[in-house]
Structure 1
Amino acid sequence: MSTSKPIYVTQPDLPPLDDLIPMLEQIWDSRILTNGGPFHQQLEDALCEYLGVPYISLFANGTIALVTAIRALGITGEVITTPYSFVATAHALLWNDLTPVFVDIEPTTLNLDPAKIEAAITPQTTAILPVHCYGNPCDVEAIEDIADRHSLQVVYDAAHAFGVKCHCGSILNHGDLSVLSFHATKVFNTLEGGAIVCQDADTKRYIDQLKNFGFTSETTVVETGINGKMNEFNAAVGLLQLQHVDPAIEHRETIDVAYRQGLKDIPGIRCHSPSEPTRSNYSYFPIFVEDDYPLTRDQLYDKLKANGINGRRYFYPLITEFTMYWDLEDSVPADLSVAKDVAERVICLPIYSELSIDKVKSIVKQIVSI
């Protein structure tokens, strides 16, 4: 089967253009393009309500938000984090002159293994940077217990976790700060964008100062800040996207079910099935190619691609295999055996709100036919 048009691992949701044009006209009329304009403020308020969080600060992208979150907490020394993530997670630490300490992941959730976190703590450790991988919640209670006992701060990379809920409500309310990405590939996007979720007004005020060069007034700069502000166009897109995100997530769930049904009896293909959160966002659909499948992971990846199906080996390679992390003591593959094995078996299959179930079945058929 060769598709007439390639199927990519994701496709950005976009709001109806007719709905966006009146908002653009408002921007043109007001000439307010950035610096916390009306759409920016409306989106912050709307997201707080939708996500069930007390305070949120919008950013130009998720990476700048993560860099700023780490800076806002004054983190120093060593930070324990995962090797199984997008490289921006660890890069944000290097940008803050911090030392990443990589520990292995759990084989089920693919999130940081709490037992490995505790074993990696040294006198130089000041924080933990976990990732809700694929939007699946970390063991937040175990991580909080470790952080409390060792006086560590916790910043969650929640780039995948928009709208995800655990047993006690929004997953974003855990940790000292949680950081979101609104990149075009995410369940909720503002084309480019990101945000920091915090729990009190003083922290939000400080974060907002940091993302605006450190200004507190027209003539006063109190911090070495950065320009991390979201502009009015991205905020307007976000306000419209928020109106359509629930149906998008519902269709993603339908795709998730179809994949699981189609692949459940295929020897050598394992679907990622962690414990279910109270509410998932179905950000990704990873499968793992085991030894009893006729092809290796890379052979299956190439076979699908040759037939117009563009999955992604996400996350491969591990962050520790990039050159800037090679010389770290904890980058040894033997100490990261679970993450290494997962990275060499994973393929994320296409999933997005406009992907038809017929196309999902054609993808499954390709995997089954082999």
Structure 2
Amino acid sequence: MKALVTGGGGFIGSSLVGPLLENGDAVTCLDISSFDRLTPLAGKPKLRLVQGDVLDGRLIDELVGESDFVFHFAAVVGVDEYLRQPANVLDVNILGTRNVFHACLKHGRPILFASSSEAYGKSEGDLDEAADRRYGNTANTRWCYAVSKAAGETYAVALARQGLKFVAVRYFNVYGPLLDAPGSGRVVSKFVGCIRDKKPLPLVDGGEAVRCLCYIDDAAAATLGLSRRLAAGDEAVTNRAFNVGRREPVSMRDLARMMIDLSGHREGVAERPGRDFFGAGFEEIPYRMPDLEAIKNVLGFEAKVDLATGLAKVLGHWGLLDPAYESGNAATSVRRAIIPFVRPYFEPTPELAGAIQQSLRSGRVTNAGPLAKRFETALAEYLEAPHVALVSSASNGLLLALRALDLGAGAAVLPAFTYISTLSAVVHAGLKPIFCDIDPRRWTMSPAHLDEILSREPDVKAVLPVNVYGVPPDLERIAAAAERVNAVLVYDNAHGFGTETNSRRIAAEPTVEIFGLHATKVFPSVEGGLMVSRDDRLLDEARRLSNHGLASDPLDSTPGFNAKMSDLHAAVGLNTLKTFPQALERRRAYAERLRRVLSEETTARYEVQEIPEGVRPNHQNLAALCRFSPKAGIEETIAAFLAHGVEARRYFWPPLHQLRLYRNRDSLPQTDEACKQLLCLPLHNRMEEETLRRVEEAIRRVGRRFAP
């Protein structure tokens, strides 16, 4: 094959030349700048270097006509260039691309051309190839590159109707040793320059922007794979765009920290305002990550080089790698961002932004606004629930339920192994708390201990079982016990949205149950709670109490609370509900995978939570008993996980009966024993393969350290 590579002296273009030559292809490289990156290939008989400009239509026509396949990489790139010479960016990236496209159409040549993640403009989050785009003010030249790449893609689609065969590749932050000269160009190169010159690494606007970096070898492999399929006429890649990258998100602050660790750099970092660093007009994209399902499905491609290894290669090339990492152990030794045990995920879509903007414009942002009503209806449909009521939090939902039931003086039984909000609701409803022990395997309220409590406590008005980490208690036995003493069953199901028992999403036994919609929950609306009951009068009373206790006749009003959900939170919830089924299935898959790893270790190391038959939990949290912790120490166990970059958290801790207010009042041996050993490990609605592997490795290493 005779291949033409425009921009063949550039970073990605030059990376293709060696593999093409090794494949026996003849390669013509066109570039207006130097071919320094191709110096190692100088003199190769099938390599031809042409100094020229893609704006030269005659030259492009000639070179395309002589070739069988075209790789179009010629472009002006880099934030510095967008702001300094926008006209040149537009000319080269639009008019030059037009020349190449028309020559390919004229001569019937297939073309792979380089687009960019910048083509997504200001759009944030997980970006698939069909995602909508938003661009900034046209008076701001910062967006000229993004617009030029989008124009190129649109032009290709238009010419495809006339017969052009193309594939567009949207690269997400490709890096490598030859990206730019140290100190210039893009972020990795700028950091390399600072390390070389012994200067602080600049953190623009706090370094909070998150990107996914892809090592050049992986990007080149994906590019060549797509080119071969296009050259063969494969319809699966023809006239399509593909994201190319690696899903290993990193903030610029954490990127700087990794490069500091790998190099032994001592000058640290320096905060710099973006407009001072890049110049007037700079705008940052806070969070950008590629959806890579398309290229995985078509090519089976997944990037192999992890970020720590790739950065070590870059620093090693420039002689800046700390000798401690020269043995190739960067991936396992360098400090990386801590994986938190809880990490909320939202989908900041244009539709969500539009809904919030419309709500703000209308002024209807609270007091049972239209979005809250829509959200309430949508949740009732999802849960197949007869009656529901939205409130500001699950904590307030519990309190409102107990107050609406008007139980009078008496006691309430609840597990000590729960969050303090369960206790708060009981106390603020005027009830005396009695703590119940837990089942040793399920970690939920023990029906046997409940029976014992009810047999000796004459004034129990309510029983409050709690869903623990997504696993429900034995509600059938608990309900029967409560019924024998005429106590109401109020189910604290804050952890349970998405859990199914015998294919049901709500429980049949309780008088009322309350779900949590807090940011840390499986289904988040930032803040919020949901009350579910078959008694619509109970929910009506809870709504009245949540609105300051106001009655339809003001003279019938009683003291209440302000516990309404705002329309802004409802907008987030409605948006979350759209993709919740997919998020729940991902979370279940992650949990099952990590539970297998825990279970494969010996029982002297870990024991996972028992899941009853007929239950499909939402896996609100991933918990395990660390059997070695009583001897090794729970804090030492937490520190060991942290040393591997994994946060392990005691949750629920402390158990409520150990609060000084109630200490030495109740004997709960199963709760005490569990709390000596139980830790929650990271589990999120979205986890990258690299993250899962790090958690798995930490589980194995910590367990084998303390229980060989």
- Bin the TM-score by the shorter chain: over 0.9
Equivalent of 1:42, from 367, 374, 379? 374
Question: Is 1:11 equivalent to 2:343 in the alignment?
Answer: yes
Deviation of 1:218 after TM superposition, in Å, equals 7.0
Q: Aligned-residue CA RMSD in angstroms? A: 1.9
Q: Which runs of 5+ in 2 are unaligned?
A: 1-331
Give the AA of the match of 2:579. H
Equivalent of 1:134, from 450, 453, 469? 469
Give the AA of the match of 2:420. V
Deviation of 1:38 after TM superposition, in Å, equals 0.5
Deviation of 1:209 after TM superposition, in Å, equals 0.5
Contact 1:255–1:357 (CA under 8 A) maintained in structure 2: no
**For residue 12 of structure 2, what is the aligned residue in structure 1?**
none
**For residue 231 of structure 1, what is the aligned residue in structure 2?**
566
Equivalent of 2:493, from 153, 158, 165? 158
Deviation of 1:25 after TM superposition, in Å, equals 2.3
Residues of 1 paired with 2:561 and 2:554: CA distance?
16
Question: Is 1:317 equivalent to 2:649 in the alignment?
Answer: no
Equivalent of 1:78, from 394, 411, 419? 411
Residues of 1 paired with 2:681 and 2:523: CA distance?
19
Contact 2:626–2:677 (CA under 8 A) maintained in structure 1: yes
Range that drifts further, 118-127 or 81-90: 118-127
**For residue 478 of structure 2, what is the aligned residue in structure 1?**
143
Question: Is 1:286 equivalent to 2:623 in the alignment?
Answer: yes
Cα–Cα, structure 1 residues 326 and 151, in superposed 2: closer, same or farther, change >3 Å? same
Residues of 2 paired with 1:172 and 1:180: CA distance?
11
Give the AA of the match of 1:107. P
Residues of 1 paired with 2:487 and 2:503: CA distance?
22
Counterpart secondary structure, 2:661: helix
Deviation of 1:276 after TM superposition, in Å, equals 4.3
Question: Is 1:31 equivalent to 2:363 in the alignment?
Answer: yes
**For residue 346 of structure 1, what is the aligned residue in structure 2?**
678
Deviations 1:34-73 (A, max 9, x none): 1101000000000001012111111111111111111111
Higher gyration radius (CA)? 2
Residues of 2 paired with 1:156 and 1:226: CA distance?
21
Cα–Cα, structure 1 residues 56 and 201, in superposed 2: closer, same or farther, change >3 Å? same
**For residue 7 of structure 2, what is the aligned residue in structure 1?**
none
* Displaced runs of 4 or more, over 3 A: 218-221, 291-297
Deviation of 1:201 after TM superposition, in Å, equals 2.2
Contact 1:178–1:197 (CA under 8 A) maintained in structure 2: yes
Residues of 1 paired with 2:527 and 2:469: CA distance?
19
Residues of 1 paired with 2:453 and 2:430: CA distance?
19
Counterpart secondary structure, 1:196: strand
Matches within 5 A, 1:194-209: 194-209=529-544
The normalised TM-score by structure 2 is: 0.50
Contact 1:137–1:171 (CA under 8 A) maintained in structure 2: no
Deviations 1:272-315 (A, max 9, x none): 23224443211111011114998443222111123321121112
Contact 1:82–1:104 (CA under 8 A) maintained in structure 2: yes
Equivalent of 2:522, from 187, 206, 214? 187
Equivalent of 1:336, from 647, 664, 668? 668
Cα–Cα, structure 1 residues 282 and 324, in superposed 2: closer, same or farther, change >3 Å? same
Cα–Cα, structure 1 residues 3 and 255, in superposed 2: closer, same or farther, change >3 Å? farther
**For residue 386 of structure 2, what is the aligned residue in structure 1?**
54
The normalised TM-score by structure 1 is: 0.93
Give the AA of the match of 1:115. A
How many positions carry a matched residue from both structures? 365
Cα–Cα, structure 1 residues 287 and 357, in superposed 2: closer, same or farther, change >3 Å? farther
Task: Tell which has more relative contact order, 1 or 2 (C-alpha 8 A, sep 6+).
Answer: 1
Deviation of 1:216 after TM superposition, in Å, equals 2.1
Counterpart secondary structure, 2:522: coil
**For residue 308 of structure 1, what is the aligned residue in structure 2?**
645
Equivalent of 1:247, from 579, 582, 585? 582
Question: Is 1:366 equivalent to 2:698 in the alignment?
Answer: yes
% identical aligned pairs? 28
Equivalent of 1:108, from 416, 421, 441? 441
Equivalent of 2:510, from 171, 175, 188? 175
